[in-house]
Structure 1
Amino acid sequence: MRLSARNMLKGKVKAVTHGVVESEVVLELSPGVEIVSTITKGSAEHLGLKVGDTAWAVIKASNVILATE
């Protein structure tokens, strides 16, 4: 797999919660460090995502917004 996105974070699927249209996938990058992605249910099914699988969070964004109190 070759992608133009430079931010690819490898982890283990910790949880997959399917809704009617979307699925929430929790990816554990390292102990205590998680990233959550919401993808279509069809995409989650196509990828066959299940707990314990290795997966990559691929981040391609032109903006990252930060805020403080």
Structure 2
Amino acid sequence: MQISARNALKGTVKAIEVGAVNTEVVLEVAPEVEITAIITKASAEKLGLGVGKEAFAVVKASDVMIAID
């Protein structure tokens, strides 16, 4: 895979929740570290995503926000 984004985090699909239009994908990138993404249902099907499969979370953003509670 070649991609221009610098932040590609390799992980394992932990959960998938398919909706009518979108699919929520939870990717475990380290023990107890998860990233959740919402992608189109069509994209999830095209990628052949499934629990336990390897995938990448690709982060491409101009702004990254930090917050505290």
TM-score tier, shorter chain, comes to over 0.9
Residue 52 (structure 1) aligned with residue 57 (structure 2)? no
Give the distance between the partners of 2:24 and 2:48, measured in 1 at CA.
13
Partner of 2:14: 14
What are structure 2's unaligned runs of at least 5 residues? none
Return the letter of the residue paired with 1:68.
I
Question: What is the TM-score normalised by the length of structure 2?
Answer: 0.94
Residue 23 (structure 1) aligned with residue 23 (structure 2)? yes
What are structure 1's unaligned runs of at least 5 residues? none
Count of matched residue positions in the alignment of Structure 1 and Structure 2: 69
Partner of 2:37: 37
Question: What is the TM-score normalised by the length of structure 1?
Answer: 0.94
3-state SS of 2:24 partner = strand
Give the distance between the partners of 1:54 and 1:18, measured in 2 at CA.
18
Encode CA deviations 1:30-59: one digit per residue, 9 max, x unaligned.
110000000000000000100000000011
